[in-house]
Amino acid sequence: MGTAYDVDAKLQELSAQDWSSAGDVKYHLGTSNVKIYPDLGSVTLTLEANPSHLETVGPVALGRVRAKQYYLGDAPETKKRVMPVILHGDASFAGQGVVYEAMQLAKVEDFDVGGTIHVIVNNQVGFTTDPKSSRSTLYCSDLGKAFNIPILHCNGDDPVAVVRAFEMAAEYRQEWGDDVIIDVVCYRRFGHNESDNPEFTQPLLYNDIKSHRRTEEIMAAKLIEDGHASPAELEQIKSKVWDVFEKDYQNAGSYKPSPATEWVATKWEGVRSPNQLAQSKPTGLDLELLRKIGDKLCEVPEGFKLHSALKRILKAKKDRIVAGEGMDWGTAEALAFGSLLLEGNHVRITGQDVQRGTFSHRHCIVHDQATADKHNFLNSLQLGPQETFVAQNSILSEYAVLGYELGYSYENPNALVIWEAQFGDFANTAQVMFDQFISAGEHKWMQQSALTMLLPHGYDGQGAEHSSCRLERFLQMSDDDEDDVPDYAEAGSGKQIQKANWQVMNLTTPANYFHAIRQQLHREFRKPLVIAAPKALLRHKDCTSSFEDMGPDSEFQRVIPERDPEIANNPDQVEKLIFCTGKIYYELLAERRRLGLTNVAIVTVEMIAPFPFDKVRDEMQKYSKVDRGDGVHPGSITWCQEEPKNMGAWAYVRPRMVCVARESLDLDLVVRYVGRRASAAVATGVGKIHTLEQEAVVSDALTGTVSWQERSRASSLLGHQT
């Protein structure tokens, strides 16, 4: 690729700075370089950074290819200008399911890249496993038969055949826009990674390989036999090659490598690294522009036969737009999307049901009931120049589709790329992408991304597979230190987010969601964003926002303080302080209203990670009359959640709340926990049990107390206290 990696410089950087990329082994790094060929001109070669989780990088590379094609004009001809080539091992191609998922995207609208060249380096062994144990098919490439694509088998000892296979594959792909598989049958002379002793497990095979002539010798003998070259000519060629190697080896000692950013596959001009000062732009919008966008969200073409239920939905939306209040979640999202498009930012959202929305809340694309023609509201704003909005339902896959969208997001910092899970629980089938790429990609490879992931989350009695996006997993992967309170001015300025590896949110208002997704592109840095998206709140009567909440003087709120003015303005009357996040807030609110309580303040933590130390400190200071406990047992500062105790945000927020109290208030705090008891399953599937649990959580948070002489929890349905 023509780039170099300076390990010594990386070590110096790690010692000198408080934030840096950790680096990675050289064979995991990505890069990009321009090569000049006499007969082709310039060709940009991009190598995607990748982990050792085999085949995971495939869909990431395809997503970047599709993005490149889009920005080149998104026409059929542009697909010929960008060609994906994916290298596979024989065992991984046959064994890893993500290969099938990625290949299944080949002909899907808005995922089609015009064909991929799949090159299988067929070493006839998977680490130490023989082919008969690593697959059930005759050939490692037989997966291609499911897609009816050409498979070219060639002998790795015949370089001419290999070159012909590559040329044929490239020509076929360019002509027919289809995938091609090249199965290069070869071997590793010295076993796995060319340093592992293969004789332990393949003694007979490697006895044959020891006596097998090298490819160079076989090719030389063939050229001499056919009269294409003499031994002297071949020796001269070898000598020239060795001279080049020797010269480069001697020059390596004085070589001055390019900056580390050479290893970033795509350069993002103007995007700041975590060590550079970055600015943010306001996310609030002019009220008149909000109304204009809102009006367009309610219009369909003349003669378009809309479903009767959608007519009622659009009528209600229009009424809210006119009133400037009562905006629900879907409307706030569409307003944010529309505003970003008008600012020149491409917006793309994919997932299994994103056009309608799993919970029938989005309807960004509607269908004519007579012709099945589609209308895309956000591509029909007619309010001036705008970028394109893509909303595409995907195949029933999380692993490959999430990786694809990550690759798409890598190409351009000025695009909002969103992947939405059907239910947040299903994101666990894409865990490798979260672990290896999204949470750690910037730290390992200096690769920033603003990929936004919407993971529907909330306990509604739907059972263990439809309740939780597993917030605890994303919080565990967050890299802010629980004992390191950042400078409070820094936390408020956004520098804390800039240094973090990603953001994790569980939001409670449509307006805060509006600001959260707009700020993804309104900062001079990019961070992945995980949102525990709502289900019940999509149509909750109290979960609405006004245009004023999205107007010029509004912004994203990391923490939303007590919202009842009577309680917020009389902090000395407050005896209980409850911190929570997400949907449980509205259940606490409803019960507090029913009981007529004015001595309980409820604060929602909207951005859980990186933790809003400064805002939590402010709330603890404000309600100074709340019992802090005795340093051994909790008082009345409570964390309330609907998830089990070993899940949700509790394990993450608890030490950070303790740290805030210790470092800022000189207080040895024991936080009171109110939530479900620890559980192996995420949630019960029995409706009555769910209701009993939910009622117990809400009741104990608002009115419960713990008598340490009698019991450590108010109910067997709840978790134990410290």
| Highest-confidence segment of 417-426, 440-449, 478-487, 713-722 | 417-426
Q: Is a pLDDT exceeding 50 seen at residue 627?
A: yes
Q: What letter does residue 525 receive in the DSSP assignment? A: S
pLDDT confidence band for 714 (50 / 70 / 90): confident
Kindly state whether residue 516 falls inside one of the protein's structural domains. yes
Q: What is the CATH number of the domain that holds 631?
A: 3.40.50.11610
Q: What letter does residue 600 receive in the DSSP assignment? A: E
Kindly state whether residue 237 falls inside one of the protein's structural domains. no
Mean of the per-residue pLDDT values of the chain:
92
Domains contained in the chain, number: 2
Claim to verify: residue 662 and residue 523 sit in the same structural domain: no
Kindly state whether residue 373 falls inside one of the protein's structural domains. yes
Between 125-134, 141-150, 286-295, 485-494, the lowest mean confidence (pLDDT) is in 485-494
Q: What is the arithmetic mean of pLDDT over 625-651?
A: 94
| Long-range CB contact pairs, 42-50, < 8 A, 24+ | 45/1, 46/265, 46/266, 47/1, 47/265, 48/265, 48/407, 49/24, 49/263, 49/265, 49/441, 49/444, 49/445, 49/447
Kindly state whether residue 166 falls inside one of the protein's structural domains. no
CA distance 418 to 528: 10
pLDDT for 244 equals 94
Claim to verify: residue 480 and residue 506 sit in the same structural domain: yes
pLDDT for 682 equals 94
Q: Is a pLDDT exceeding 70 seen at residue 491?
A: no
Kindly state whether residue 4 falls inside one of the protein's structural domains. no
Q: What is the arithmetic mean of pLDDT over 559-579?
A: 97
Surface-to-core class of residue 343, CB atoms within 10 Å of its CB (0-12 exposed, 13-18 middle, 19+ buried): middle
pLDDT for 545 equals 97
Q: CA 317: distance to chain centroid?
A: 31
Claim to verify: residue 512 and residue 620 sit in the same structural domain: no
pLDDT for 260 equals 54
Q: What is the arithmetic mean of pLDDT over 701-705?
A: 88
Report the percent of the chain where pLDDT is more than 90. Answer: 78
Surface-to-core class of residue 80, CB atoms within 10 Å of its CB (0-12 exposed, 13-18 middle, 19+ buried): middle
pLDDT for 24 equals 76
The residue with greater pLDDT, 594 or 633, is: 594
Report the percent of the chain where pLDDT is more than 70. Answer: 93
pLDDT for 709 equals 44
pLDDT confidence band for 710 (50 / 70 / 90): very low
pLDDT for 264 equals 58
Q: What is the arithmetic mean of pLDDT over 284-301?
A: 97
Tokens of 368: 């004519």
CA distance 126 to 131: 7
Q: What is the arithmetic mean of pLDDT over 390-408?
A: 97
What single-letter amino acid sits at 714? A
- Torsion on CA atoms 219, 142, 103, 115, rounded to nearest 10: 40
Residue at a domain's end among 550, 582, 603: 550
The residue with greater pLDDT, 665 or 416, is: 416
Claim to verify: residue 564 and residue 537 sit in the same structural domain: no
Q: What is the CATH number of the domain that holds 307?
A: 3.40.50.12470
Q: Is a pLDDT exceeding 90 seen at residue 267?
A: no
The number of residues in the chain equals 722
pLDDT confidence band for 269 (50 / 70 / 90): confident
Kindly state whether residue 242 falls inside one of the protein's structural domains. no
Claim to verify: residue 320 and residue 439 sit in the same structural domain: yes
Q: What is the arithmetic mean of pLDDT over 595-609?
A: 97
- Coil, strand, or helix at residue 389? strand
Q: Which residues pair with 460 in a beta bridge?
A: none
CA distance 130 to 204: 12
- Coil, strand, or helix at residue 474? helix
pLDDT in tens, 677-692: 999 999 999 999 999 9
Backbone angles phi, psi at 334, to 5 degrees: -65, -35
Claim to verify: residue 538 and residue 615 sit in the same structural domain: no
- Coil, strand, or helix at residue 514? helix
pLDDT for 489 equals 73
Claim to verify: residue 656 and residue 529 sit in the same structural domain: no
β-bridge pairing 151-155 and 180-185: parallel
Kindly state whether residue 621 falls inside one of the protein's structural domains. yes
CA distance 463 to 184: 48
Claim to verify: residue 540 and residue 415 sit in the same structural domain: yes
β-bridge pairing 31-37 and 85-89: unpaired
Claim to verify: residue 694 and residue 607 sit in the same structural domain: yes
pLDDT for 392 equals 97
Q: What is the arithmetic mean of pLDDT over 77-103?
A: 96
pLDDT in tens, 647-668: 999 999 999 999 999 998 899 9
Tokens of 82: 């960008």
pLDDT for 708 equals 45
Full domain range(s) for residue 390: 287-550
Claim to verify: residue 435 and residue 486 sit in the same structural domain: yes
Claim to verify: residue 543 and residue 605 sit in the same structural domain: no
Claim to verify: residue 303 and residue 387 sit in the same structural domain: yes
Closest C-alpha to 714, from 659, 658, 676: 676
Q: What letter does residue 126 receive in the DSSP assignment? A: B
Kindly state whether residue 323 falls inside one of the protein's structural domains. yes
